[in-house]
Amino acid sequence: VQLQASGGGLVQAGGSLRLSCVSSGWSFNTYASGWFRQAPGKEREFVAAMSRNGGSTLYSDSVKGRFTMSRDNAGKTVYLQLDSLKPEDTAVYYCAALPTFSTIRTYSRPNDYQYWGQGTQVTVSS
């Protein structure tokens, strides 16, 4: 099981990025997915989560209305669209996956997740 995150970069405040997380080695549609981020000196924090069927999403209050999570089960990929970026969004962004029997449940705690990608850096300049 491997997760490969990409799409990070340097962007000005107000700009956009699209993060991707490609998975391999397992039945992607049996896994719920999530995105987390970690800024220097801070704990890893929840950003967004999506159920295994893609029908349920959950966002942190700090990104709600600006970030959009989606998934392509056939392509074994989850995405995080980052719009209206702010300097405080600067962090390493991690994707995560969790095998689950529930098709609709979302998970927001890092300890819920079993598999993690390597992270992609997002830097927002003011």
- The predicted-structure confidence for 2-11, as pLDDT tens digits, reads as follows 999 999 999 9
pLDDT tens for 24-79 read 877 788 899 999 999 999 999 999 999 999 999 999 999 999 999 999 988 899 99
Which amino acid is it at 40?
P
Asked whether 32 and 42 are in contact (CB, 8 A), the reply is no
Give the residue carrying structure tokens 């390493």.
92
What are the beta bridge partners of residue 99? 31
Tell me the residue length of the chain: 126
